[in-house]
């Protein structure tokens, strides 16, 4: 699913009007009907409804919803905020239609003073103050209104987007001036800000309503952001060749696990095997030999000359991909071995965990990273790597994207909607996964999976897309059986076969 920017949404709206063709007022009626339908499915007509409409088309939607609900027997009061005496055409037309329909209990147009109504816990507020046209944070009277609604006991349904939340960049927005909805009914597609962890508190439950905007525009318009769905992944997954043998399915090398951190290398290695690599070699310090041999008998052991850490880069000639970092530690000897390893590697590379932390504390080395390298930081690792301390998810995402462009690398920023930042500035969001996967070792599993896919011959973007999707899907399947609370990284590996099976259906 493509994620359009607010500018593109505006164009999509216009294109639909011109090409379907449909008049803009009828398109608004279509949206209003879909919204009304959802509200009626949730609340009976004994529910008092208070509608807050702004001066633009979001307000137009809200006034149309007010009329439709009143027509269906709901007790509706509506407030239209027209402080600059300027309404969009369709908002003005819907104001006229609402007044003419006469079913409404109360309609108030606010130009200067606003006497807030009493909102009871059983009231449903329909928020149509601002939608995708909001281009700066709310201030003054509108900010005060949001605060009043946020402190009221009423349930809030936001049309398109909670008022005050901007579709893309909320870096300088003020949390108190953004409405906290209980239900957000967004039109046609999710907005970028809805994918950010720090904005979830405003959305409540989120539903996407299809209002049949031009499929042609949607298909033909290039888009910086998209959410990867099952079909996108099915489209790039290759069937396993009937004549495959272990030599043709790729030989993956993992350099992982210092003494005391063998678990990370065990998880990455098992995941790599389960993700279908023909052969997996794992390089670890001598003292981890027994535990590795016992835990993953399917893997080939390669021992570092050091007892407790990674110290010697290896020849990557025999391997088709290298994953490095899980449980590696950040000892200076390891740091020097890491950069030497990166320099001499001739195969595709995945850099994770401690390997990322080492690069963060030796930033000059970043210039030596080969093109097309994959980095899989979680937010804190990204902050260290990019040298930022932002608590704003959008700002962090933009930093990750800039870094991906600068390094010509693939940066997979892990999170609920893991974001794959591509060298061309585009960003693909993952749609699988759940909060149960926020557990130690989950990232090591992802590294193992992506390394396997690279070794099997997928290119870097496909390996990242398939890898994060399957990782999340395995987590979802595990959570279905086991619940989220007790999920551990090993469960993700155990459910990886089922995730593959699902994709083969």
Ligand X SMILES: NC(=O)C1=CN([C@@H]2O[C@H](COP(=O)(O)OP(=O)(O)OC[C@H]3O[C@@H](n4cnc5c(N)ncnc54)[C@H](O)[C@@H]3O)[C@@H](O)[C@H]2O)[C@@H](O)CC1
Task: Give the residues lining the site for ligand X (CB under 6 A).
Answer: 9, 12-13, 27-28, 31, 54-61, 88, 130-136, 138, 142, 159-160, 187-188, 213
Task: Extract the annotated binding site.
Answer: 57-61, 127, 131-137, 160, 163, 264, 327, 378, 414-418, 443-444
The C-alpha angle with vertex 346 and arms to 367 and 341, in degrees rounded to 5, equals 60
Two tokens, residue 299: 């893997």
For tokens 């990370």, the residue is 264
The interface partner of residue 158, options being K ion, ligand X, none and the CB cut-off 5 to 8 Å by kind, is K ion
Cα(410)–Cα(429) distance, rounded to whole angstroms?
13
Residue nearest to K ion (CB): 163
For tokens 């790039």, the residue is 236
Closest contact distance (angstroms) between CB of 217 and ligand X is: 10
Helix H or strand E encompassing 415: none
Closest contact distance (angstroms) between CB of 91 and K ion is: 13
Which among 22-30, 88-96, 163-171, 180-188 is the span making contact with K ion, rule CB under 5 A?
163-171
The interface partner of residue 31, options being ligand X, K ion, none and the CB cut-off 5 to 8 Å by kind, is ligand X
Residue 354 lies near K ion (rule: CB under 5 A):
no
Helix (H, G, I), strand (E, B) or coil at 54: coil
The interface partner of residue 476, options being ligand X, K ion, none and the CB cut-off 5 to 8 Å by kind, is none
Closest contact distance (angstroms) between CB of 429 and ligand X is: 21
Task: Extract the annotated binding site for (6S)-NADPHX.
Answer: 57-61, 131-137, 160, 264, 327, 378, 444
Residue 158 lies near K ion (rule: CB under 5 A):
yes
User: 209: closest CA among 185, 182, 237?
Assistant: 185
Closest to ligand X by CB, 165 vs 397, is 165
Task: Extract the annotated binding site for K(+).
Answer: 58, 127, 163
Closest to K ion by CB, 164 vs 443, is 164
Q: Is 486 exposed, middle or buried (0-12, 13-18, 19+ CB in 10 A)?
A: exposed
Q: What is the CA radius of gyration of the chain?
A: 27
User: 503: closest CA among 470, 464, 457, 475?
Assistant: 470
Contact code string over 123-152 relative to K ion, x by CB under 5 A: ----x---x---------------------
Give the HSE-up count for residue 177: Cα atoms under 13 Å, Cβ half-sphere. Answer: 17
Residue 61 lies near K ion (rule: CB under 5 A):
no
Own/partner long-range contacts of 141-144 (Cβ < 8 Å, ≥24 apart):
141/81, 141/83, 141/114, 142/54, 142/81, 142/177, 143/174, 143/176, 143/177
Residues 192-231 contacting K ion, CB under 5 A: none
Q: Helices 353-360 and 332-344, interaxial angle, to 10°?
A: 100
Q: Which residues bind K ion (CB under 5 A)?
A: 127, 131, 158-159, 163
């Amino acid at each position: 699913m493509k994620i359009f920017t607010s500018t593109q949404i505006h164009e999509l709206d216009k294109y639909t009007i011109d090409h379907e063709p449909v008049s803009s007022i009828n398109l608004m009626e279509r949206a209003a009907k879909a919204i009304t339908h959802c509200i009626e499915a949730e609340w009976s007509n004994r529910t008092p409804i208070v509608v807050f409409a702004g001066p633009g088309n979001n307000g137009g939607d809200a006034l149309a919803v007010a009329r439709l609900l009143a027509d269906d027997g709901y007790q509706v009061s509506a407030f239209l905020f027209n402080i600059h005496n300027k309404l969009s055409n369709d908002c003005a037309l819907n104001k006229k239609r609402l007044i003419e329909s006469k079913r409404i209990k109360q309609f108030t147009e606010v130009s200067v003073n606003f006497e807030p109504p009493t909102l009871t816990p059983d009231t449903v507020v329909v928020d149509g103050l601002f939608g995708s046209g909001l281009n700066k944070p709310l201030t003054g009277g509108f900010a005060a209104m949001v605060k009043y609604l946020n402190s009221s006991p009423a349930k809030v349904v936001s049309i398109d987007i909670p008022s005050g939340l901007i579709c893309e960049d909320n870096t300088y927005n003020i949390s108190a001036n953004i409405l906290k909805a209980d239900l957000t009914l967004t039109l046609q597609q999710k907005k970028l800000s809805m994918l950010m962890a720090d904005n979830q508190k405003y959305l409540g439950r989120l539903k996407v309503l299809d209002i049949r905007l031009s499929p042609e525009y949607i298909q033909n318009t290039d888009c910086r952001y998209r959410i990867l769905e099952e079909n996108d992944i099915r489209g790039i997954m290759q069937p396993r060749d009937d004549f495959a043998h272990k030599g043709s399915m790729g030989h993956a090398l993992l350099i992982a696990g210092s003494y005391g951190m063998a678990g990370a290398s065990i998880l990455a290695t098992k995941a790599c095997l389960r993700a279908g690599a023909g052969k997996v070699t794992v390089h670890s310090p001598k003292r981890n030999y027994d535990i590795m041999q016992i835990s993953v008998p399917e893997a080939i052991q390669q021992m570092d000359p050091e007892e407790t850490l990674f110290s010697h880069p290896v020849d990557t000639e025999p391997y088709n991909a290298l994953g490095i970092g899980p449980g590696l530690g950040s000892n200076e000897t390891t740091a020097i071995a890491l950069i030497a390893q990166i320099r001499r590697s001739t195969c595709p590379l995945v850099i994770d965990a401690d390997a990322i932390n080492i690069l963060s504390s030796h930033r000059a080395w970043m210039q030596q990273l080969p093109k097309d390298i994959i980095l899989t930081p979680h937010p804190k690792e990204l902050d260290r790597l990019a040298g930022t301390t932002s608590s704003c998810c959008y700002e962090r995402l933009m930093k990750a994207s800039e870094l991906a462009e600068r390094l010509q690398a693939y940066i997979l920023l892990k999170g609920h909607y893991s974001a794959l930042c591509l060298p061309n500035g585009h960003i693909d969001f993952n749609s699988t996964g759940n909060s149960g996967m926020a557990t130690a070792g989950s990232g090591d599993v992802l590294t193992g999976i992506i390394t396997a896919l690279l070794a099997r011959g997928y290119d870097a973007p496909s390996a990242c897309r398939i890898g994060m999707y399957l990782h999340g899907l395995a987590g979802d399947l595990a959570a279905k059986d086991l619940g989220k609370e007790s999920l551990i990284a090993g469960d993700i590996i155990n459910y990886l076969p089922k995730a593959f099976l699902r994709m083969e259906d």
